[in-house]
Amino acid sequence: MSDANGTGEEKPRGLDFIRQIIKDDLDSGRVQQVVTRFPPEPNGYLHIGHAKAFSLSFSVTEEFGGICRLRYDDTNPEKEDEEFVRVIEEDIRWMGFEWEGEPRHASSYFGQFYDWAVELVKAGKAYVDHQSPAEIIENRGTPTIPGINSPYRDRSEEENLEILEKMRSGELDEGACVLRAKIAMDHVNILMRDPSMYRIRKETHHQTGNEWCIYPMYDFAHGYEDAIEGVTHSLCSLEFENHRPLYDWFIENVSVPHRPHQYEFARLNLTHTIMSKRYLRKLVEENYVHGWDDPRMPTIRGMRRRGYPSTAIRKFIEEIGVSKVNSLVDVEFLNFHVREELNRKAQRRMAVLNPLKLTITNWPEGKIDTFTAENNPGDPDAGTREISFTGELWVEQDDYMDEAPRKWFRMAPGKEIRLKYAYYVTVNDAVRDDSGEPVELLCSYDPESRGGDTPDGRKVKGTLHWLSCHDAVDAEVRLYDHLITLEDVSKVEEGKEFLDYVNPESEIIVSNAKVEPALAAAVPEERYQFMRSGYYVADSADHVPGEKPVFNRIVGLRDSWAKIARKG
RNA sequence: UAGGACGUCGGCAAGCGGUAAGCCACCGGGUUUUGAUCCCGGCAUUCGCAGGUUCGAUUCCUGCCGUCCUAGCCA
């Protein structure tokens, strides 16, 4: 596509640092086959930030001939649920990826984790601590003040083993104690100041039921999960950089079957988009949106319902690249990729969002004319369809102005325009309501201009879309805009919270739109270009073919008139 | 006044000691029965700043500045 020099050669983009590392490891023989994993916690819906992460892990193995697994990081029974598992799998598949084998569960390794915890205790590298959470925090110190050793830090191996077994067997209450790694309370990295390994939680786990009442912490478990699965490159986001020494410490102090390595890259941030699970949940629970699949949500389900093709999302992710720079990507860049794909693939149709009656006063009574319309001017294989034309039409309200500004190509008193595929038409008069607003345009047409050209070769600047009143179909069209008005959602002003930036006009329901008869038969999730307007998708939930057409605007067309109008 | 990471065009992002790729945005122009698409052209004498090494530095070294991450019995 960017083969601008015409030689057939294109300078390839350099490998990103992750791919470079993998290539080097493969070239040097350090690893034979690259193995990655995508480890979501089953406690919510996946969003485009997750999509960036799993696209990387999956793509890298496709490119280098490795394997990528799906693993649920279900080490905390409190907020997790089986319900999310199905959704996660469906979303990943919709994005076009397939994991190796059956999905794994961190919870299925609980027995092994326990054995390794015992191994650490026996090596004098872990201990049971009875300090309260508050005491533990108190004694952890700060970035500049070293922590203080727990009074339980040096008890005997036998005692530790005995209490750990009591923790496991359920003899101890929640919060009574935790198992901690014995590293160093004065470590410069606070995460290394004797991190917790196990906490007691008497909660039913969605996979292991009541088998366990102690649950491993992320740092203790994650590297082991990778080790068990033979993961070579454990990719995660930048905020885990500080965790890497811990990841390595747990692996190095126990007899693991394999030595994985963690690499961190920058997570995705998009303008006008919140990615925090907590806030997304809030939007749903407090009814700012209609659900996790609301077309305004950045969840994969939301984007799917909005009509974004997964291939366009993938192209976008590919194009923004992978680096360690904390960046903020313009959401318009995503929209660019959506338009680019839809321009190639979406069939064109005519639809009038805000109908204004146009009557051709010199049209022969009862005559119906028929024209052949291209389904996609850029793709002859897309074929054609028949559209019919009469003297009573619907046109777009916005295409008429009583007093036209300079450079206005569209309808105005006395101005001649072309109705796409049909005829040249001139506005002669307007019927108005009590407030003076035009409710019907009275026009004359030039019979010589059939098909959109005249024998005398005269030109018109404007070509407008239209619908014939006799066969136009009523439809509901939903228009979407940024859910959050704030460009950089990390820059919430003092005294405000992000909910103050929810855009009240992010969803506009147009209930009296008119569409081509061909659109009534659209299949849910089918995408079209409404000419001169934008790209739309038949809603997956509410559109009923042949009965109730409902379309969502995916993204508008580029609008250079808006730019001209703005400049005056 | 801790440790770690990161700073290349308005936004992403290549560059790996030999004299600043690409994409988006933006600005011009052309084609067009979608003011869409498409096509052509423009858009960093400069790489956070200051020194140093070198024939030569965005690339190596030193110092400074800025941003982000870290003190859950969350992940």
pLDDT in tens, A439-491: 999 999 999 999 999 999 999 999 999 999 999 999 999 999 999 999 999 99
Closest nucleotide to A243 by C1' from CA: B70
Q: Rounded to whole angstroms, how far apart are CA atoms A359 and A11?
A: 57
Cβ neighbors of A321 (< 8 A, separation 6 or more) are: A13, A16
A277-348+475-567 topology per CATH:
Ribosomal Protein L25; Chain P (2.40.240)
According to DSSP, the residues that pair with A263 across neighbouring strands are A235
Average pLDDT score over residue span A401-427: 97
pTM of the shown model: 0.96
Closest protein CA to C1' of nucleotide B10, residue = A330
HSE toward the beta carbon, residue A209, CA cutoff 13 A: 2
Residue A4 has pLDDT above 70, yes or no: no
What is the rounded average pLDDT for all residues in chain A?
96
Question: Using an 8 Å Cβ cutoff, are A422 and A371 in contact?
Answer: yes
Sheet of A534-538: strand order equals A347-349, A527-530, A534-538, A550-556, A473-480, A507-515, A351-352
**Quick one: what percent of chain A has pLDDT higher than 90?**
95
Give A174 CA → B73 C1' in Å: 9
**Residue A10: pLDDT above 70?**
no
Contacts of A268 (CB under 8 A, 6+ apart): A48, A49, A52, A275, A317, A320, A329
Supply the CATH classification number for the domain A351-465. 2.40.240.10
| CA pair distance A25, A232, nearest whole angstrom | 10
Q: How confident is the model at residue A13 (pLDDT cuts 50, 70, 90)?
A: confident
Q: Which one has a higher pLDDT value, A47 or A79?
A: A47
Residue A555 clears pLDDT 60, i.e. is over it: yes
Average pLDDT, stretch A320-348? 98
**Best CATH choice for the domain A17-265 from the list 3.40.50.150, 3.30.360.10, 3.40.50.620, 2.60.40.10:** 3.40.50.620
A14 — pLDDT class (breaks 50, 70, 90) = confident
Local confidence band at A83 (pLDDT 50, 70, 90 cut-offs): confident
User: For A19-37, what is the mean pLDDT?
Assistant: 97
The answer for residues whose C-beta is within 8 angstroms of residue A92's C-beta and 6 or more apart is A38, A46, A54, A70, A99
Question: Active site includes A344?
Answer: no
Is the predicted ipTM greater than 0.85, yes or no?
yes
What pLDDT, on a 0 to 100 scale, did the predictor assign at position A494? 87
Which pLDDT band holds residue A11 (cuts at 50, 70, 90)? low
Catalytic residue, candidates A267, A282, A315, A324: A267
For chain A, where do the domains classified as CATH 2.40.240.10 start and end? Answer: 277-348+475-567, 351-465
Domain with CATH 3.40.50.620 in chain A: 17-265
Å from the A76 CA to the B72 C1'? 12
Instruction: Give me the CA A94–C1' B61 separation in Å, rounded.
Output: 50
Known catalytic membership, residue A548? no
DSSP A268: P
Q: CA at A18, C1' at B58: how many angstroms apart? A: 21
The whole-number pLDDT of residue A148 equals 97
Is position A13 annotated as part of the catalytic site?
A: no
